[in-house]
Structure 1
Amino acid sequence: MIYRYLIFILLALQSAYSAAVCIPNGGDGVLDIESCAEADITLSIPALARVNQLQEFSLGEFDYVTVPQSLNDFCIWYNTEEFSLTVNSANSTGDSSFGLLGTSSAARIPYEVVWYDQTGGSGTELNLTSLEDVPQQQLRLPSQPVNSDCEDNNTSINVRVPLQNLENQPEDSYSDTLTVTVSVQ
């Protein structure tokens, strides 16, 4: 008896509210004063990274007194917990070092590369001098840009040529191309 009474109350409540029972993925199919359907919404965001604002490193002209160096602020954007950083030299000899190559001579001048997790050469320092083409894993920035356009700098690289590497080098113009690759998983 109580069971019938509860069913009667449930039916009365349902008809009073006239709420349709929705069937997921397709609808209830009812032709009535009210009908409904439910559908899932899905979105996938892939792991992404961007390097932006990296400018030319100008070491100037060597005066035999001042250590040639150039600090370059740029932006790294990523949407994962961490990223890996690989820096390559176009003049790589396969020994994990960076080198400036003479335009008219075969001379190669080794140089140092230091990455900083903040602009202006501040924050945590990672010396990459003997790590050319060696991925550096599990890196994070203390200041990650909010927008993926990566218009605001948040990291830096310093390129430096020690004085001892310049001793007895022939007169020439020396150059290299540095490639910075950021990877996420």
Structure 2
Amino acid sequence: HLRRGGTVLGLCGGYQMLGRAIHDPDGIEGAGGSAVGLGLLDVETTLSAEKRLEPVKGSTFDQAPFTGYEMHMGVTEGPDRARPFARLADGVAEGAVSADGRVIGTYIHGHFADDAQRSAWLARFAGGAATIAYEPLVEDTLDRLAAHLEAHIDVDRLLTLLR
């Protein structure tokens, strides 16, 4: 895909794998050591025991606003971090973009659940915008699932079995 002019996006562990190497000196993900990455981003990741989990807001490199969350263990460093994927609301640079702009890595989850951000991604890479609103679709799906379960499950019997 990349060789044919496409764009590659790595989220979280995918971001780490796009780099030159992942180091695990403390054996957090198994036997300690290092693994060679794909080398598509000029970065390396060192895993750490501290897990980062927090909501974030900011703007991508092309000024598309987003909300999402970070959830990862480790620190990623290297020359491609000089071209961050995003700037968080607190001013922190996040992620990395390759020199040609076709490989992007980020620790931020939730881009495709955010209607505006999903539209920005599709416009950026696919030439079109999303027309499906995500949250109403999820709510409608959950409502239909709940109605189906209520119609087909004997809740009183289930509660009796659980006791």
| TM-score bracket for this pair, using the shorter chain length | under 0.3
Higher Cα Rg: structure 1 or 2?
1
TM-score, with normalisation over the residues of structure 1? 0.20
TM-score, with normalisation over the residues of structure 2? 0.21
Ranked by relative contact order (alpha carbons within 8 Å, sequence separation 6 or more), the top structure is 1
